[in-house]
Chains A and B, each alone.
Chain A
């Protein structure tokens, strides 16, 4: 044997995409799993309680590769010390074990990692969540408000800017013309052959909408109730801000009386006292009258409460809801009702039969997802409600 017993080569691997392709499929499965878990995911405290900009880790059990294996936690493993290890030494604590060390490519069965975690950014969740939400019953209120958003090359013309010349079509025209003239082939490009790509403005009607977010901040709203309302509004605000350009949001906090607060205050402030819901509705009507004329705005009042309203106030509420619906595109009422009580407000609202009235009863975190769909789902599903 001589020199020819080995070869060394270096090829171009830039088109090798096998790993990426399978990774893309894996990624797809992760997204599928996220979509299935959306109802649980959107009420993750990690997202709601922070600024919502972070990446969250979510366990995706469906992507585990199950097989028959030993119970790692119950069996002994071999390890290696520095030379002075002794019985009783703690070498790792749960969650902080040295993972993926060394060259053992068969990693994955190590301590602590008993399910597969995917890192998902809030934006990804948002994208999936908002894919089928919309502002229902959107009406174009003032047609003169048109904004130009973009340009699109949609047309081909015989005159145009030289830099926008459409070479393919120009050649095609030339070939066609030569063929007609009985001299097939590509030659003698004439002025007449030239084709230019031409753009058009993409216009989008300016949809103006205002959401009147009302929340009960009375003493009867416990931690869970507030958390649910907070989660709902968190996603609602994000939804509106991402999907539409000009949407105003007014935050109205109320107990026995209502006031307009900032977003910050709305989500963080807790107050005590009784509940008179009509106060919030009245304030909402005032706002509509003074600031948000129904001629120019689509109006979406959404109210969250635990339903524990002052009984004598209920009739007034129903009246005001009707009034609000006269000027609004939708009225949303979300009741956080963990223990399935019969709430006074809900029993009053049960008699409102209007396609504009949408309500949802939220018993557990996962219902938030459904309530978002009830309020911001397509128009036809008016029946709504997690009943």
Chain B
């Protein structure tokens, strides 16, 4: 972008901010940064966080995105960070009108970050705290070796989704902080000689008398990372720190994962409204229309969250403006409250409830959504019933699309072994991946680990003892 264009963009943003406020959007102060493509892709690889720690997986992701970009296969238009002030990165070689659109889009994202309930507890200074932890990780690399840190990160990254972001879990942690556990864990941790087990044997026996069963959990715990932080005997202090940091980062990212469709739809809805209000030349209008169409293009194999989201938002507006059917007859919605309802939904819901409540039969048919499955060598459409499509879509957005695992026992077989259970709800786990992930859990736990799940309708237990994987039908 030339400096003349920058100036024009600045004026346009001024106008857009005014328009957005007029619509009722409520966002933090904005910091727009124009960056070249490779920098934008770098940030993209680090999930939008420029200050994040280093790891080869980010490099791999960066390379893949960059290749796609270089080949013209895909591109990132915008990156926005959930922070106060809100940082947004614009692509330098976007056209002026593209960047105008992106700015409008980003304003709505920021409104969403600021007002959606899921984001209530996300720290708004994550850029700085990530920089601080990246700095610490670098120091660990110096002290304990690059390879040690990298391999540890490999292991934590393998299970990083297994946290418990729910409000209930948060409340419980506030009521009963696990400080007791933490002390106990670090006490165990101090001794790292090969005879560790022998020494701690007496101690373990004595604690056993004190408590019924050590490291046994009354309630199954979903937060595997937290459980490891508190109870793993093999972790050293720096490792505990890394684990804690990655857990907090995941907690920070989680609301974004859980509101992808809503958030993108919301931003798309508003960039369309705001752009329509701007004075665009004919050429610019066409440019905008083309870009907008690109963003909301359907794809056969995936659901485009921009498209699905914006369609649902528009349907909500329409439905609450002029209610029909049940909405009018059973719920007595008065009408003329389209926008009001939209703002309420953007505050209260996440993808799973958003889809469940507002993805209607009409929409599914209009969008021609379907379910497909692998049949032999082909991927075939197998279901078009709107309820099934909706339910599947909801299920795929539940828990961010990751399998739910619970820690059932931290002292399985009274041998300090870790017992995980997959909350099976009809979707099987990828066996190969599970078997490759268990060794990572073993590394973090230090004792044999077990995972119970269901395959072909039968309960099965995968166990890893440090040498090999065993499968056992239960």
Contact = CB atoms under 8 A, between A and B. Distances in A.
Contact of B301 (A13, A66, A84, A97): A97
Contacts of A168: none
B405 A68 contact: yes
A66 B316 CA distance: 39
A23 B300 contact: no
Contact of A19 (B59, B392, B393): B59
B299 A5 contact: no
A67 B433 contact: yes
A81 B370 contact: yes
Interface in A30-86: 63-86
B380 A29 contact: no
Contact of A105 (B9, B13, B65): B65
B460 interface: no
Contacts, number: 263
A3 interface: yes
A6 B62 contact: no
A6 B32 contact: yes
B459 interface: no
Nearest to B257: A106
Contacts of B297: 102
Contacts of A78: 303, 369-372, 389, 392-393, 396
Contacts of A29: 56
Contact of B56 (A26, A66, A102): A26
Nearest to B44: A105
A19 B38 contact: yes
A25 interface: yes
A91 interface: yes
Interface residues of B, number: 98
Interface in A1-15: 1, 3-11, 13
A6 B30 contact: yes
Contact of A100 (B21, B29, B68, B370): B68
A9 B87 CA distance: 11
B75 to A, nearest CB: 8
Contacts of B34: 8-10
Nearest to B305: A104
B301 A5 contact: no
B412 interface: no
A282 B388 CA distance: 79
Main secondary structure on B side of the interface with A: mixed
Interface string B426-454: 01111111101100100000000001000
A270 B60 CA distance: 45
B339 to A, nearest CB: 21
A145 B76 CA distance: 60
A80 B429 contact: no
Given A5-B17, A6-B17, A26-B63, A70 B30 contact: no
B136 interface: no
Nearest to A82: B368
A66 B403 contact: no
A190 interface: no
Contact of A67 (B41, B77, B378, B437): B437
22 contacts: A3-B14, A18-B42, A19-B46, A22-B54, A27-B59, A67-B157, A67-B402, A68-B403, A69-B403, A75-B427, A79-B303, A79-B371, A80-B298, A80-B307, A92-B301, A97-B301, A100-B73, A102-B74, A102-B302, A103-B77, A104-B304, A110-B302
Q: 10 tightest CB-CB pairs across the interface, nearest first? A: A22-B59, A19-B42, A23-B59, A6-B30, A26-B59, A19-B62, A66-B436, A81-B368, A10-B34, A8-B32
Interface of B: 1, 6, 9-10, 13-14, 17, 21, 29-36, 38-39, 41-42, 44-46, 50, 54-66, 68, 73-74, 76-77, 92, 150, 157-162, 295, 297-307, 367-374, 377-384, 389, 392-393, 396, 402-403, 405, 422, 427-434, 436-437, 440, 451
Given A78-B303, A104-B305, 18 more contacts: A6-B29, A6-B31, A8-B32, A19-B42, A22-B60, A24-B59, A26-B60, A65-B157, A68-B402, A68-B429, A71-B429, A76-B372, A78-B389, A79-B299, A80-B300, A98-B301, A102-B74, A102-B302
